[in-house]
Amino acid sequence: MTGMRTARRILVGGAALAAAGWALREVPAELGVRPLESGPDRAARIRRSPQFRDGSFVNTMPEQTTMMTTPPVGLLGELAKEREQRRPAGLIPLRVPPADPPPADGVRAIWYGHASTLVEIEGKRVLFDPVWSRRPSPSQLVGPKRHHPVPVELGELPQVDAIAISHDHYDHLDLATVRSLTRTQKAPFLVPLGIGAHLERWGVPAYRIIELDWDEEAQVGGLRFVATAARHFSGRSLTRNDTLWGSWVVAGRSRRVFYAGDSGYFEGYRGIGSAHGPFDLTLMPIGAYSPAWPDIHMNPEEAVNAHLDLGGKLLLPVHWATFTLALHPWAEPVERLWREAKARDVKIAVPRPGEAVDASAAPAVEGWWEMLH
């Protein structure tokens, strides 16, 4: 019996090691590519960029950008406290996304969770920052888990006209999702400068990659895409800022949408609104803020400020609810946003994952999250 138990332990341990090895096999690819080493044409474009200085991309707005370089005193204690408040107390309600064609003249959005959002504008579909993996991490063995399933499988998505990426952090750029979309979709990937190097390594054909610097634009599927500024940083390993980050303006004949990506608040939103707005819809990040990194993730009140600076009509909050990436309670971002929006007479929509929102006829906020904390 002892020998059999020992044999079983060996078999179980061997299986576990094999599973771990299988899960870790993609880590080198997940880390991406150094863009300056990916070819002379891309390297020359990067070095010409006004955002590239002394070997890395920088935030060119005058405000200083603060990033946490050492853990704050007491961080481990804070992580251990109130852990239950940083995740929903029950199941997040999901909705089945509509299968009907996009409205020919309007704007409709379907939020899948975190920042992943499908925007339909004047009959065209744009998919922003799609992440379908269970964890936003270089390995699916570690990192924060999803609080809810994605409301639709990748293979069930309708054909889209463009896939727009804001930056290369794992919760916005996901290798498995990119590879799946490369197989199942025909749309090009629009990305900030340098990120094309990651996509090429992951098997995206060069003809499907459109890399833009800030204030550069491209026409795709009858829509005008403009890469605009953000106040953030990049990196998939210990090396930071070798790819650019940004936000996106998507303009049709008469409708306009703004996606902020990840960003701290900065005065440049007024200039973006003046040059490219007003916007029928803004997708604004409201979660994962902290005093430890005040300049790279805006808080809910700052999201309202940016929305007003941009000339936004309807604000749809993203970057909350799906992954725990900061110490604040799970539902705090949306509660603060709702209070601020009511105080400043700002129209917001807070859909359940999978629920469609018509920008011209958004439903009243229901507070569906209130039973989950």
Does this model's pTM top 0.85?
Answer: yes
Q: Tell me, yes or no, whether 280 lies in a domain.
A: yes
Report pLDDT digits (tens) over 51-60: 999 999 999 8
Q: Tell me, yes or no, whether 103 lies in a domain.
A: yes
Model pLDDT, residue 16: 39
Report pLDDT digits (tens) over 322-358: 999 999 999 999 999 999 999 999 999 999 999 999 9
Range of the domain at 277: 97-358
State which H helix or E strand residue 177 sits in: helix 175-184
Report pLDDT digits (tens) over 99-136: 899 989 999 999 999 999 999 999 999 999 999 999 99
- What φ, ψ does residue 268 adopt, rounded to 5°? -65, -15
For the chain, the C-alpha Rg in angstroms (whole number) is 21
Report pLDDT digits (tens) over 227-236: 999 999 999 9
Q: Tell me, yes or no, whether 90 lies in a domain.
A: no
Cβ atoms 248, 262 nearer than 8 A = no
Q: Tell me, yes or no, whether 40 lies in a domain.
A: no
Q: Tell me, yes or no, whether 224 lies in a domain.
A: yes
Question: Could you give the angle at which helices 268-276 and 300-310 cross, rounded to 10 degrees?
Answer: 40
State which H helix or E strand residue 282 sits in: strand 279-285
Model pLDDT, residue 265: 97
Q: Tell me, yes or no, whether 166 lies in a domain.
A: yes
Query: Integer distance in angstroms from the first to the last C-alpha of the chain?
Result: 49
SS3 at position 125: strand
Q: Tell me, yes or no, whether 234 lies in a domain.
A: yes
Report the half-sphere exposure of 115 (CA within 13 A, side-chain side): 30
Give the pLDDT band of residue 86 (cuts 50, 70, 90).
confident
Is the torsion defined by CA of 338, 340, 342, 345 positive or negative? negative
Q: Tell me, yes or no, whether 120 lies in a domain.
A: yes
Distance between CA atoms of 300 and 305, rounded to whole angstroms?
Answer: 9
Cβ atoms 215, 222 nearer than 8 A = no
- Amino acid residing at 28: P
Distance between CA atoms of 79 and 144, rounded to whole angstroms?
Answer: 13
Of 339, 272, 268, nearest to 299 by C-alpha is 339
- What φ, ψ does residue 320 adopt, rounded to 5°? -155, 165
Q: Percentage of the chain surpassing pLDDT 90?
A: 81
User: Which CATH number fits the domain that encloses residue 264?
Assistant: 3.60.15.10
SS3 at position 354: coil
- The tally of domains found in the chain comes to 1
